[in-house]
Amino acid sequence: MSAKKFLPQALQLSYRSILGMIRQPQAWVPTLFFPLLLAAVYAAQFSKAVNLPEFPYPDVTFLDFILPACVIQGVLFGSTNSATDLAADIENSFMDRLLSSPVSRSSILIARLSSAFIYGLVQAVILILIFFTFGAEMSGGISSALALIFITSFLAMAVGSFLIAIALRTGSQEVVNSLFPVVFVFIFISSAFFPVELMEGWYGQIAEWNPLTWIIDWTRSLTIDGFSWANLIQASGVIALISLLGISISIRQLKRRLAVIS
């Protein structure tokens, strides 16, 4: 299919996907509220943790320390929305009608991935502005903020690609939503809310090897130590590998569903 036909289709489907999420505040409001609630609790309970000798960032507030993790947490919680909407389209047979039309098959997948990215971007901007309102700071200024927004949006798309693959495989909103605890566990067994340097035992070992820890630590350096191309490239590189795997699985599941329908 020529680019003249593919691009308008991808844009139209992306617009539909984004609009569908906007019209369901019950799906995205909790992903904004919950990270902020946790940030308030942790900032109050662990405010003195920055005074520990082993704490890696002794010259910042705990709110500054958890800022990137809370933004990433909120965006990852929201990454399920695009896949849930896709599963809903399969359940109500809209997907079948779409596939019976001459629409580009790849535009269907691109639309969902782009909506996950854009939703993550908007959510990251809102969360960062709220954090700034309550006194959080970034030493890198606008450069660090833009880097954080890009990383979180990219990560939302990467994780969303796996959930989209599951939606294509199962066609069930219930199955997609049931994976929310998995995302939740991956965040908490990481350096999101406490530095790995202060963890011990099996929990510390898992957190140290959790890819999300690497992404969070590099992103945290961007916001606390200042903008660094090295940290941005390292975090983006890990996310790119996750995206490559997730998108490859999504393409396979899309082909599988097309084969079943045909």
For 100-151, how does the pLDDT look when each residue is reduced to its tens digit (9 = 90+)? Answer: 777 777 888 888 898 889 888 988 999 999 999 888 888 888 999 999 999 9
pLDDT interval class at 178 (50, 70, 90): confident
Provide the residue type at 176 as one letter.
Answer: V
pLDDT, mean of residues 157-166: 92
User: Is the predicted pLDDT of residue 88 greater than 80, yes or no?
Assistant: yes
Examine the pLDDT at 73 and tell me if it is beyond 80.
Answer: yes
- How much is the pLDDT for 220? 93
Banded model confidence at residue 216, pLDDT cuts 50, 70, 90: very high
Is 70 exceeded by the pLDDT of residue 152? yes
Q: Give the model's confidence band at 5: pLDDT under 50 very low, under 70 low, under 90 confident, else very high.
A: low
pLDDT at 26 over 80: no
Identify which has the larger pLDDT, 234 or 36. Answer: 234
Residue 2 confidence (pLDDT): 47
pLDDT of residue 25: 73
**pLDDT average, residue stretch 151-160:** 93
